[in-house]
Structure 1
Amino acid sequence: MAVFVALGAFLMTLFGGWTAQRVTDRRHLVLGLAGGLMLGVVGLDLLPEAMHAAGQEVFGVPQALLLFVGGFLVAHLVERLLAVRQASHGADPKESEALDGHDGHAHAHERVPQVGLTAAAAMVGHSLMDGIALGAAFQIGGGMGAAVALAVVAHDFADGFNTYTLTSLYGNDRRKAVMMLVADAVAPVVGAASTLLFTLPEELLGSYLGFFGGALLYLAAAEILPEAHHEHPARSTVLCTVVGVAFIWLVVGIAG
Protein backbone atom coordinates (compact mmCIF):
# COMPACT_ATOMS: atom_id res chain seq x y z
CA MET A 1 0.00 0.00 0.00
CA ALA A 2 2.81 2.39 0.89
CA VAL A 3 4.46 1.95 -2.51
CA PHE A 4 1.12 2.58 -4.24
CA VAL A 5 0.67 5.85 -2.31
CA ALA A 6 4.28 6.77 -3.15
CA LEU A 7 3.35 6.55 -6.82
CA GLY A 8 0.82 9.30 -6.14
CA ALA A 9 3.62 11.34 -4.58
CA PHE A 10 5.67 10.68 -7.73
CA LEU A 11 2.95 12.23 -9.90
CA MET A 12 2.43 15.19 -7.56
CA THR A 13 6.15 15.94 -7.57
CA LEU A 14 6.25 16.01 -11.35
CA PHE A 15 3.15 18.22 -11.39
CA GLY A 16 4.81 20.66 -8.99
CA GLY A 17 7.90 20.89 -11.20
CA TRP A 18 5.76 21.30 -14.32
CA THR A 19 3.91 24.17 -12.63
CA ALA A 20 7.18 25.90 -11.75
CA GLN A 21 8.38 25.54 -15.34
CA ARG A 22 5.20 26.89 -16.93
CA VAL A 23 5.15 30.17 -15.04
CA THR A 24 8.65 31.39 -15.88
CA ASP A 25 7.24 34.69 -17.13
CA ARG A 26 6.13 35.38 -13.55
CA ARG A 27 9.42 34.38 -11.97
CA HIS A 28 9.04 36.67 -8.96
CA LEU A 29 5.68 35.08 -8.14
CA VAL A 30 7.18 31.59 -8.55
CA LEU A 31 10.00 32.44 -6.16
CA GLY A 32 7.62 34.09 -3.70
CA LEU A 33 5.43 31.00 -3.64
CA ALA A 34 8.44 28.69 -3.40
CA GLY A 35 9.77 30.67 -0.44
CA GLY A 36 6.43 30.41 1.32
CA LEU A 37 6.17 26.68 0.67
CA MET A 38 9.69 26.14 1.99
CA LEU A 39 9.06 28.28 5.07
CA GLY A 40 5.83 26.42 5.76
CA VAL A 41 7.41 22.99 5.33
CA VAL A 42 10.23 23.91 7.74
CA GLY A 43 8.24 25.67 10.45
CA LEU A 44 5.00 23.71 10.37
CA ASP A 45 6.09 20.22 9.30
CA LEU A 46 9.80 19.37 9.51
CA LEU A 47 10.76 21.09 12.77
CA PRO A 48 7.78 19.85 14.84
CA GLU A 49 8.41 16.30 13.60
CA ALA A 50 12.11 16.60 14.36
CA MET A 51 11.43 17.90 17.88
CA HIS A 52 9.05 15.02 18.53
CA ALA A 53 11.45 12.37 17.25
CA ALA A 54 14.76 13.79 18.52
CA GLY A 55 13.90 16.13 21.38
CA GLN A 56 16.57 14.89 23.76
CA GLU A 57 18.60 17.76 25.19
CA VAL A 58 22.30 18.18 24.55
CA PHE A 59 23.80 20.65 27.01
CA GLY A 60 20.41 22.26 27.62
CA VAL A 61 19.28 22.43 23.97
CA PRO A 62 17.11 19.86 22.13
CA GLN A 63 19.16 17.78 19.73
CA ALA A 64 16.84 18.57 16.82
CA LEU A 65 17.33 22.32 17.32
CA LEU A 66 21.10 21.98 17.44
CA LEU A 67 21.03 20.14 14.13
CA PHE A 68 18.58 22.70 12.77
CA VAL A 69 21.08 25.50 13.45
CA GLY A 70 23.86 23.28 12.12
CA GLY A 71 21.97 22.73 8.87
CA PHE A 72 21.48 26.48 8.47
CA LEU A 73 25.20 27.15 9.02
CA VAL A 74 26.32 24.33 6.71
CA ALA A 75 24.08 25.65 3.91
CA HIS A 76 25.56 29.13 4.39
CA LEU A 77 29.15 27.86 4.44
CA VAL A 78 28.63 25.65 1.38
CA GLU A 79 27.26 28.57 -0.62
CA ARG A 80 30.09 30.86 0.44
CA LEU A 81 32.78 28.28 -0.31
CA LEU A 82 31.32 27.50 -3.73
CA ALA A 83 31.07 31.20 -4.51
CA VAL A 84 34.71 31.77 -3.56
CA ARG A 85 35.81 28.73 -5.55
CA GLN A 86 33.91 29.91 -8.61
CA ALA A 87 35.44 33.40 -8.33
CA SER A 88 38.95 31.96 -7.99
CA HIS A 89 38.52 30.19 -11.33
CA GLY A 90 37.74 33.47 -13.01
CA ALA A 91 34.52 35.40 -13.45
CA ASP A 92 33.06 37.60 -16.12
CA PRO A 93 34.35 41.15 -15.44
CA LYS A 94 30.90 42.57 -15.96
CA GLU A 95 29.54 40.14 -13.40
CA SER A 96 32.31 41.04 -10.98
CA GLU A 97 31.42 44.70 -11.31
CA ALA A 98 27.77 43.87 -10.81
CA LEU A 99 28.59 42.10 -7.56
CA ASP A 100 29.74 45.43 -6.15
CA GLY A 101 26.41 47.00 -7.00
CA HIS A 102 22.73 46.48 -6.34
CA ASP A 103 22.31 43.83 -9.04
CA GLY A 104 25.03 41.53 -7.78
CA HIS A 105 22.78 39.20 -5.83
CA ALA A 106 21.12 37.69 -8.88
CA HIS A 107 24.38 37.39 -10.80
CA ALA A 108 26.02 35.65 -7.85
CA HIS A 109 23.36 32.98 -7.98
CA GLU A 110 23.83 32.48 -11.70
CA ARG A 111 27.57 31.98 -11.21
CA VAL A 112 27.20 29.18 -8.65
CA PRO A 113 25.06 26.47 -10.23
CA GLN A 114 26.52 23.89 -7.84
CA VAL A 115 24.53 25.50 -5.02
CA GLY A 116 21.30 24.81 -6.87
CA LEU A 117 22.28 21.21 -7.54
CA THR A 118 23.30 20.72 -3.90
CA ALA A 119 20.01 22.17 -2.68
CA ALA A 120 18.03 20.03 -5.12
CA ALA A 121 19.97 16.96 -3.99
CA ALA A 122 18.94 17.77 -0.42
CA MET A 123 15.32 17.91 -1.61
CA VAL A 124 15.77 14.47 -3.18
CA GLY A 125 17.12 13.19 0.14
CA HIS A 126 14.12 14.68 1.91
CA SER A 127 11.74 12.98 -0.52
CA LEU A 128 13.53 9.69 0.06
CA MET A 129 12.94 10.12 3.78
CA ASP A 130 9.29 10.95 3.02
CA GLY A 131 8.96 7.56 1.38
CA ILE A 132 10.63 5.83 4.32
CA ALA A 133 8.33 7.65 6.75
CA LEU A 134 5.36 6.63 4.63
CA GLY A 135 6.34 2.96 4.69
CA ALA A 136 7.01 3.08 8.44
CA ALA A 137 3.62 4.68 9.07
CA PHE A 138 1.80 1.89 7.24
CA GLN A 139 3.75 -0.62 9.30
CA ILE A 140 2.32 1.00 12.44
CA GLY A 141 -1.27 0.94 11.18
CA GLY A 142 -3.71 1.96 8.46
CA GLY A 143 -4.86 5.15 10.22
CA MET A 144 -1.33 6.43 10.73
CA GLY A 145 -0.44 5.45 7.18
CA ALA A 146 -3.41 7.34 5.73
CA ALA A 147 -2.53 10.52 7.65
CA VAL A 148 1.11 10.44 6.58
CA ALA A 149 0.08 9.56 3.01
CA LEU A 150 -2.08 12.68 2.78
CA ALA A 151 0.73 14.89 4.04
CA VAL A 152 3.37 13.32 1.78
CA VAL A 153 1.30 13.39 -1.42
CA ALA A 154 0.12 16.96 -0.84
CA HIS A 155 3.45 18.50 0.07
CA ASP A 156 5.34 16.60 -2.63
CA PHE A 157 3.76 19.14 -4.97
CA ALA A 158 5.77 21.72 -3.04
CA ASP A 159 8.87 19.51 -3.20
CA GLY A 160 8.66 19.24 -6.98
CA PHE A 161 7.98 22.96 -7.31
CA ASN A 162 10.94 23.82 -5.08
CA THR A 163 13.32 21.29 -6.65
CA TYR A 164 12.82 22.66 -10.16
CA THR A 165 12.93 26.26 -8.92
CA LEU A 166 16.10 25.81 -6.85
CA THR A 167 17.96 24.05 -9.66
CA SER A 168 17.08 26.61 -12.33
CA LEU A 169 17.42 29.65 -10.04
CA TYR A 170 21.16 29.14 -9.70
CA GLY A 171 21.79 29.03 -13.44
CA ASN A 172 21.48 25.33 -14.25
CA ASP A 173 19.96 24.49 -17.63
CA ARG A 174 16.53 22.95 -18.13
CA ARG A 175 17.95 19.45 -18.66
CA LYS A 176 19.58 19.41 -15.22
CA ALA A 177 16.48 20.89 -13.60
CA VAL A 178 14.30 18.17 -15.13
CA MET A 179 16.82 15.50 -14.13
CA MET A 180 16.71 16.61 -10.49
CA LEU A 181 12.92 16.83 -10.65
CA VAL A 182 12.64 13.23 -11.87
CA ALA A 183 15.07 12.08 -9.17
CA ASP A 184 12.95 13.87 -6.57
CA ALA A 185 9.80 12.20 -7.93
CA VAL A 186 11.34 8.71 -7.87
CA ALA A 187 12.83 9.12 -4.37
CA PRO A 188 9.64 8.56 -2.28
CA VAL A 189 8.86 5.39 -4.25
CA VAL A 190 12.35 4.06 -3.51
CA GLY A 191 12.04 5.10 0.14
CA ALA A 192 8.67 3.41 0.60
CA ALA A 193 9.92 0.21 -1.04
CA SER A 194 13.02 0.17 1.17
CA THR A 195 10.89 -0.14 4.33
CA LEU A 196 10.20 -3.72 3.30
CA LEU A 197 13.87 -4.38 4.16
CA PHE A 198 14.58 -2.32 7.31
CA THR A 199 13.18 0.06 9.91
CA LEU A 200 14.72 3.52 10.45
CA PRO A 201 15.22 4.49 14.13
CA GLU A 202 12.97 7.39 15.11
CA GLU A 203 15.80 9.44 16.63
CA LEU A 204 17.87 9.23 13.44
CA LEU A 205 14.89 10.34 11.36
CA GLY A 206 14.28 13.30 13.68
CA SER A 207 17.92 14.32 13.56
CA TYR A 208 17.89 14.31 9.78
CA LEU A 209 14.69 16.36 9.63
CA GLY A 210 16.17 18.96 11.98
CA PHE A 211 19.35 19.32 9.94
CA PHE A 212 17.51 19.45 6.62
CA GLY A 213 15.05 22.00 8.01
CA GLY A 214 17.88 24.38 8.89
CA ALA A 215 19.38 24.13 5.41
CA LEU A 216 15.99 24.66 3.79
CA LEU A 217 15.25 27.70 5.95
CA TYR A 218 18.54 29.28 4.89
CA LEU A 219 17.68 28.84 1.22
CA ALA A 220 14.20 30.27 1.73
CA ALA A 221 15.08 33.27 3.92
CA ALA A 222 18.52 34.21 2.63
CA GLU A 223 18.23 33.32 -1.03
CA ILE A 224 14.80 32.62 -2.50
CA LEU A 225 12.75 35.41 -0.91
CA PRO A 226 15.35 38.20 -1.42
CA GLU A 227 15.62 37.14 -5.06
CA ALA A 228 11.83 37.18 -5.41
CA HIS A 229 11.70 40.82 -4.30
CA HIS A 230 14.86 41.97 -6.08
CA GLU A 231 13.17 43.27 -9.22
CA HIS A 232 9.50 42.97 -8.28
CA PRO A 233 8.92 44.18 -4.70
CA ALA A 234 5.17 43.87 -5.27
CA ARG A 235 2.41 42.99 -2.85
CA SER A 236 1.48 40.10 -5.14
CA THR A 237 4.85 38.48 -4.36
CA VAL A 238 4.22 38.77 -0.63
CA LEU A 239 0.75 37.33 -1.16
CA CYS A 240 2.23 34.32 -2.97
CA THR A 241 4.55 33.74 -0.02
CA VAL A 242 1.65 33.86 2.43
CA VAL A 243 -0.36 31.49 0.20
CA GLY A 244 2.56 29.04 0.20
CA VAL A 245 2.73 29.03 4.00
CA ALA A 246 -1.06 28.73 4.27
CA PHE A 247 -1.10 25.76 1.89
CA ILE A 248 1.38 23.83 4.03
CA TRP A 249 -0.58 24.79 7.17
CA LEU A 250 -3.71 23.37 5.56
CA VAL A 251 -1.93 20.15 4.63
CA VAL A 252 -0.51 19.73 8.13
CA GLY A 253 -3.87 20.52 9.70
CA ILE A 254 -5.74 17.99 7.56
CA ALA A 255 -3.12 15.32 8.16
CA GLY A 256 -3.16 15.97 11.90
Structure 2
Amino acid sequence: MPILLSLAAFLMTLLGGLVADRIGRHRHLVLGFAAGVMLGVVAFDLLPEALSATSLTLYGVPVPMLMFAVAFLGIHIVERSMGMHDAHETDYATHRHHRAGVGLAAGSALIAHSFLDGAAIGAAHQTDTSLAVAVAIGVIAHDFTDGFNTYTIISLYGNARRRALTLLTLDALAPVTGATLTSVISIPDGLLGAYLGLFSGFLLYLATSDILPEAHTPRRATGWTLTATVLGTLLMWGVIGLTD
Protein backbone atom coordinates (compact mmCIF):
# COMPACT_ATOMS: atom_id res chain seq x y z
CA MET A 1 0.00 0.00 0.00
CA PRO A 2 2.73 2.62 0.77
CA ILE A 3 4.18 2.03 -2.70
CA LEU A 4 0.78 2.50 -4.36
CA LEU A 5 0.26 5.74 -2.44
CA SER A 6 3.72 6.98 -3.41
CA LEU A 7 2.97 6.27 -7.10
CA ALA A 8 0.30 8.97 -6.93
CA ALA A 9 2.99 11.34 -5.61
CA PHE A 10 5.19 10.27 -8.54
CA LEU A 11 2.51 11.29 -11.05
CA MET A 12 1.80 14.63 -9.36
CA THR A 13 5.50 15.54 -9.27
CA LEU A 14 5.86 14.85 -13.00
CA LEU A 15 2.73 16.85 -13.75
CA GLY A 16 4.04 19.87 -11.83
CA GLY A 17 7.35 19.84 -13.69
CA LEU A 18 5.71 19.41 -17.10
CA VAL A 19 3.41 22.37 -16.42
CA ALA A 20 6.47 24.50 -15.60
CA ASP A 21 8.09 23.33 -18.86
CA ARG A 22 5.14 24.42 -21.03
CA ILE A 23 4.54 27.93 -19.68
CA GLY A 24 6.79 29.76 -22.20
CA ARG A 25 6.30 33.53 -22.37
CA HIS A 26 4.58 33.63 -18.99
CA ARG A 27 7.82 32.64 -17.30
CA HIS A 28 7.76 35.65 -14.97
CA LEU A 29 4.43 34.46 -13.57
CA VAL A 30 5.84 30.94 -13.14
CA LEU A 31 8.84 32.30 -11.23
CA GLY A 32 6.71 34.58 -9.07
CA PHE A 33 4.31 31.76 -8.25
CA ALA A 34 7.18 29.34 -7.55
CA ALA A 35 8.76 31.83 -5.13
CA GLY A 36 5.47 32.17 -3.26
CA VAL A 37 5.07 28.40 -3.10
CA MET A 38 8.61 28.03 -1.77
CA LEU A 39 7.97 30.67 0.91
CA GLY A 40 4.79 28.85 1.91
CA VAL A 41 6.56 25.48 2.05
CA VAL A 42 9.28 26.91 4.32
CA ALA A 43 7.01 28.93 6.62
CA PHE A 44 4.03 26.60 6.91
CA ASP A 45 5.53 23.13 6.47
CA LEU A 46 9.31 22.67 6.74
CA LEU A 47 10.18 24.90 9.70
CA PRO A 48 7.21 23.86 11.90
CA GLU A 49 7.98 20.20 11.13
CA ALA A 50 11.69 20.73 11.87
CA LEU A 51 10.96 22.35 15.23
CA SER A 52 8.54 19.59 16.21
CA ALA A 53 11.01 16.87 15.18
CA THR A 54 13.63 17.81 17.78
CA SER A 55 13.91 19.82 20.99
CA LEU A 56 17.72 20.08 20.79
CA THR A 57 19.16 23.57 21.29
CA LEU A 58 22.63 25.08 21.06
CA TYR A 59 23.29 28.20 23.14
CA GLY A 60 19.55 28.66 23.55
CA VAL A 61 18.68 28.43 19.84
CA PRO A 62 16.85 25.40 18.36
CA VAL A 63 19.19 23.34 16.16
CA PRO A 64 16.85 23.50 13.11
CA MET A 65 16.93 27.30 13.21
CA LEU A 66 20.73 27.29 13.45
CA MET A 67 20.89 25.03 10.41
CA PHE A 68 18.43 27.34 8.64
CA ALA A 69 20.81 30.28 9.17
CA VAL A 70 23.86 28.18 8.19
CA ALA A 71 22.27 27.17 4.88
CA PHE A 72 21.06 30.68 4.05
CA LEU A 73 24.44 32.29 4.82
CA GLY A 74 26.39 29.42 3.26
CA ILE A 75 24.73 29.63 -0.14
CA HIS A 76 24.95 33.44 0.00
CA ILE A 77 28.71 33.30 0.65
CA VAL A 78 29.22 30.78 -2.15
CA GLU A 79 27.25 32.86 -4.67
CA ARG A 80 28.94 36.13 -3.69
CA SER A 81 32.34 34.48 -3.97
CA MET A 82 31.54 33.29 -7.47
CA GLY A 83 30.18 36.70 -8.40
CA MET A 84 33.47 38.35 -7.51
CA HIS A 85 35.14 36.85 -10.59
CA ASP A 86 35.52 39.20 -13.53
CA ALA A 87 33.02 38.37 -16.26
CA HIS A 88 35.53 38.10 -19.12
CA GLU A 89 34.58 36.05 -22.16
CA THR A 90 37.33 33.56 -21.30
CA ASP A 91 35.79 32.63 -17.97
CA TYR A 92 32.10 33.12 -18.82
CA ALA A 93 31.63 29.39 -19.46
CA THR A 94 33.16 28.61 -16.07
CA HIS A 95 30.83 31.10 -14.38
CA ARG A 96 27.81 29.51 -16.09
CA HIS A 97 29.05 26.12 -14.98
CA HIS A 98 29.11 27.26 -11.35
CA ARG A 99 25.55 28.63 -11.64
CA ALA A 100 24.40 25.40 -13.24
CA GLY A 101 26.00 23.59 -10.29
CA VAL A 102 23.90 25.63 -7.85
CA GLY A 103 20.79 24.60 -9.76
CA LEU A 104 21.82 20.95 -9.59
CA ALA A 105 22.47 21.26 -5.85
CA ALA A 106 19.02 22.79 -5.35
CA GLY A 107 17.42 20.03 -7.43
CA SER A 108 19.29 17.39 -5.44
CA ALA A 109 18.01 18.90 -2.19
CA LEU A 110 14.45 18.78 -3.51
CA ILE A 111 14.95 15.13 -4.49
CA ALA A 112 16.20 14.34 -0.97
CA HIS A 113 13.14 16.05 0.47
CA SER A 114 10.85 14.05 -1.82
CA PHE A 115 12.59 10.88 -0.68
CA LEU A 116 11.76 11.79 2.93
CA ASP A 117 8.14 12.43 1.90
CA GLY A 118 7.95 8.86 0.64
CA ALA A 119 9.67 7.58 3.77
CA ALA A 120 7.03 9.39 5.84
CA ILE A 121 4.28 7.49 4.01
CA GLY A 122 5.99 4.16 4.70
CA ALA A 123 6.66 4.99 8.35
CA ALA A 124 3.06 6.08 8.87
CA HIS A 125 1.82 2.81 7.35
CA GLN A 126 3.83 0.85 9.93
CA THR A 127 1.84 2.68 12.62
CA ASP A 128 -1.64 2.82 11.12
CA THR A 129 -3.14 2.47 7.63
CA SER A 130 -5.44 5.47 7.99
CA LEU A 131 -2.48 7.58 9.13
CA ALA A 132 -0.56 6.51 6.02
CA VAL A 133 -3.47 7.64 3.82
CA ALA A 134 -3.61 11.02 5.60
CA VAL A 135 0.15 11.53 5.20
CA ALA A 136 -0.03 10.47 1.55
CA ILE A 137 -2.78 13.03 0.84
CA GLY A 138 -0.53 15.76 2.21
CA VAL A 139 2.46 14.53 0.20
CA ILE A 140 0.46 14.21 -3.02
CA ALA A 141 -1.07 17.65 -2.56
CA HIS A 142 2.27 19.43 -2.44
CA ASP A 143 4.24 17.15 -4.78
CA PHE A 144 2.77 19.05 -7.74
CA THR A 145 4.56 22.15 -6.48
CA ASP A 146 7.69 20.11 -5.71
CA GLY A 147 7.92 19.07 -9.35
CA PHE A 148 7.07 22.60 -10.46
CA ASN A 149 9.87 24.05 -8.30
CA THR A 150 12.41 21.38 -9.26
CA TYR A 151 12.07 22.08 -12.98
CA THR A 152 11.91 25.86 -12.48
CA ILE A 153 15.01 26.13 -10.27
CA ILE A 154 17.18 23.86 -12.41
CA SER A 155 16.19 25.72 -15.59
CA LEU A 156 16.67 29.15 -14.01
CA TYR A 157 20.31 28.36 -13.24
CA GLY A 158 21.18 27.70 -16.88
CA ASN A 159 20.80 23.93 -17.06
CA ALA A 160 19.55 22.42 -20.32
CA ARG A 161 15.93 21.28 -20.64
CA ARG A 162 17.05 17.65 -20.91
CA ARG A 163 18.92 17.87 -17.61
CA ALA A 164 15.96 19.57 -15.93
CA LEU A 165 13.65 16.80 -17.12
CA THR A 166 16.10 14.16 -15.88
CA LEU A 167 16.17 15.63 -12.38
CA LEU A 168 12.40 16.06 -12.49
CA THR A 169 12.09 12.31 -13.18
CA LEU A 170 14.43 11.53 -10.27
CA ASP A 171 12.38 13.83 -8.04
CA ALA A 172 9.21 11.99 -9.08
CA LEU A 173 10.81 8.60 -8.33
CA ALA A 174 12.16 9.71 -4.94
CA PRO A 175 8.88 9.28 -2.94
CA VAL A 176 8.46 5.78 -4.36
CA THR A 177 12.02 4.92 -3.33
CA GLY A 178 11.52 6.40 0.12
CA ALA A 179 8.30 4.49 0.71
CA THR A 180 9.93 1.25 -0.46
CA LEU A 181 13.03 1.60 1.72
CA THR A 182 11.37 2.88 4.90
CA SER A 183 11.58 -0.54 6.50
CA VAL A 184 15.39 -0.46 6.43
CA ILE A 185 16.04 3.29 6.80
CA SER A 186 15.29 5.08 10.06
CA ILE A 187 16.16 8.76 10.45
CA PRO A 188 16.66 9.91 14.06
CA ASP A 189 14.39 12.80 15.02
CA GLY A 190 17.30 15.12 15.84
CA LEU A 191 18.95 14.57 12.47
CA LEU A 192 15.65 14.98 10.65
CA GLY A 193 15.00 18.34 12.33
CA ALA A 194 18.48 19.59 11.43
CA TYR A 195 18.04 18.50 7.81
CA LEU A 196 14.68 20.21 7.48
CA GLY A 197 16.12 23.42 8.91
CA LEU A 198 19.06 23.25 6.51
CA PHE A 199 16.78 22.63 3.54
CA SER A 200 14.52 25.52 4.60
CA GLY A 201 17.39 28.01 4.58
CA PHE A 202 18.58 26.78 1.19
CA LEU A 203 15.11 26.98 -0.34
CA LEU A 204 14.29 30.42 1.06
CA TYR A 205 17.59 31.86 -0.17
CA LEU A 206 16.93 30.66 -3.71
CA ALA A 207 13.42 32.11 -3.64
CA THR A 208 14.41 35.54 -2.35
CA SER A 209 17.81 36.15 -3.94
CA ASP A 210 17.44 34.56 -7.38
CA ILE A 211 13.90 33.60 -8.36
CA LEU A 212 12.05 36.76 -7.25
CA PRO A 213 14.60 39.21 -8.72
CA GLU A 214 14.49 37.30 -12.02
CA ALA A 215 10.69 37.39 -11.98
CA HIS A 216 10.64 41.16 -11.37
CA THR A 217 13.04 42.29 -14.09
CA PRO A 218 11.99 45.60 -15.74
CA ARG A 219 10.47 43.85 -18.76
CA ARG A 220 8.07 41.83 -16.63
CA ALA A 221 4.51 42.62 -15.57
CA THR A 222 5.43 43.33 -11.94
CA GLY A 223 1.87 43.66 -10.63
CA TRP A 224 0.81 40.29 -11.99
CA THR A 225 4.06 38.72 -10.82
CA LEU A 226 3.47 40.00 -7.29
CA THR A 227 -0.06 38.62 -7.41
CA ALA A 228 1.30 35.24 -8.51
CA THR A 229 3.73 35.24 -5.56
CA VAL A 230 0.97 35.98 -3.06
CA LEU A 231 -1.25 33.30 -4.63
CA GLY A 232 1.58 30.75 -4.40
CA THR A 233 1.99 31.47 -0.69
CA LEU A 234 -1.76 31.32 -0.04
CA LEU A 235 -2.02 28.06 -1.98
CA MET A 236 0.51 26.37 0.29
CA TRP A 237 -1.26 27.76 3.38
CA GLY A 238 -4.50 26.23 2.14
CA VAL A 239 -2.93 22.90 1.14
CA ILE A 240 -1.11 22.48 4.45
CA GLY A 241 -4.12 23.66 6.45
CA LEU A 242 -6.41 21.15 4.74
CA THR A 243 -4.00 18.23 5.12
CA ASP A 244 -2.82 18.85 8.68
TM-score by structure 2 length? 0.92
- The answer on 1:234 being equivalent to 2:222 is yes
Residues 251 and 197 (structure 1), Cα distance of their counterparts in 2 relative to 1, 3 Å cut: same
Residues 184 and 84 (structure 1), Cα distance of their counterparts in 2 relative to 1, 3 Å cut: farther
Q: Name the counterpart of 2:15.
A: 15
Trace 1:195-210 onto structure 2 (pairs within 5 A).
195-210=182-197
Partners of 2:82 and 2:98 within 8 A in 1: no
Bigger CA drift: 232-241 or 6-15?
A: 232-241
Residues 138 and 86 (structure 1), Cα distance of their counterparts in 2 relative to 1, 3 Å cut: farther
Residues 2 and 85 (structure 1), Cα distance of their counterparts in 2 relative to 1, 3 Å cut: farther
* Percent of residue pairs bearing the same amino acid type: 48
Which AA in structure 1 matches 2:60?
G
> How much has 1:49 moved relative to structure 2?
0.0
Q: How many residues align?
A: 242
Q: Matched residues in 1 for 2:64 and 2:222: separation?
A: 36
Q: CA RMSD in A?
A: 2.1
Q: Name the counterpart of 2:56.
A: 56
> How much has 1:131 moved relative to structure 2?
1.1
Q: Matched residues in 1 for 2:98 and 2:128: separation?
A: 48
- The answer on 1:123 being equivalent to 2:130 is no
Q: Matched residues in 1 for 2:13 and 2:85: separation?
A: 32
Structure 2 unaligned residues grouped into runs of 5+: none
- The answer on 1:192 being equivalent to 2:179 is yes
Q: Name the counterpart of 1:100.
A: none
Q: Name the counterpart of 1:218.
A: 205
Partners of 1:86 and 1:111 within 8 A in 2: no
> How much has 1:122 moved relative to structure 2?
1.0
Q: Name the counterpart of 2:237.
A: 249
Residues 2 and 62 (structure 1), Cα distance of their counterparts in 2 relative to 1, 3 Å cut: same
Q: Name the counterpart of 2:152.
A: 165
Partners of 2:5 and 2:133 within 8 A in 1: no
Trace 1:169-180 onto structure 2 (pairs within 5 A).
169-180=156-167
> How much has 1:24 moved relative to structure 2?
1.8
Structure 1 unaligned residues grouped into runs of 5+: 96-107
Partners of 1:33 and 1:240 within 8 A in 2: yes
Partners of 2:56 and 2:190 within 8 A in 1: no
Q: Matched residues in 1 for 2:110 and 2:42: separation?
A: 12
TM-score by structure 1 length? 0.88
Residues 60 and 234 (structure 1), Cα distance of their counterparts in 2 relative to 1, 3 Å cut: same
Secondary structure of the structure 1 residue equivalent to 2:90:
coil
Q: Matched residues in 1 for 2:186 and 2:97: separation?
A: 40
Q: Name the counterpart of 2:132.
A: 145
